[in-house]
Amino acid sequence: MSKISVTLYGPLATQTGISTPSCEVDATGKISLRKVFQLIAERHGQQFVDAVIDPSTGELQPHLHVVVNNQLMQRLQGLDTEVDSDDRIVIMIHILSAMSGG
């Protein structure tokens, strides 16, 4: 069985209830990001899903970005993006910096 690596940047590890900033998911063949998140929730609790998935839409929380092998999930197939063994997933908070001029 192969592993898919998931890394949480910023305060996400604390918010999701995962004690370390990274975890691995066992996978046999390709699975969707949605399934990866379900497997993490089975291991670490519903708190993970609540922090990552918007309950009103079933999609990724709007303030988060997911990167799969250096590509934004939003530029792929969203939560239906398929990942395989040895793929690397990074979840991070999107920070919009204010710009000012004068």
| Residue-range definition of the domain harbouring residue 21 | 2-93
pLDDT at 101: 52
Mind listing the pLDDT tens digit for each residue in 37-64? 999 989 888 888 888 989 899 899 998 9
55: tokens are 């309950």
CATH number at residue 86: 3.10.20.30
**Domain assignment of residue 16, yes or no:** yes
The total of structural domains in the chain comes to 1
Does 39 map to a domain? yes
76, part of any domain: yes
Q: What is the pTM of this model?
A: 0.83
Q: Which of 6, 15, 70, 1 is nearest to 38 (CA)?
A: 6
pLDDT tens figures, 13-42: 778 878 788 888 988 889 999 999 999 989
- Is 7 among the domain residues? yes
Residue 101 lies in a domain: no
Q: Is residue 84 predicted with pLDDT exceeding 70?
A: yes
Spatial CB neighbours of 25, under 8 Å, sequence gap ≥ 6: 3, 4, 6, 36, 39, 40
Which value, in Å, is the radius of gyration of the alpha carbons in the chain?
Answer: 14
Calculate the CA 78 to chain-centre distance: 11
> Is the residue at 11 inside a domain?
yes
Q: 36: helix, coil or strand?
A: helix
Q: Which residue has the tokens 């609540």?
A: 50
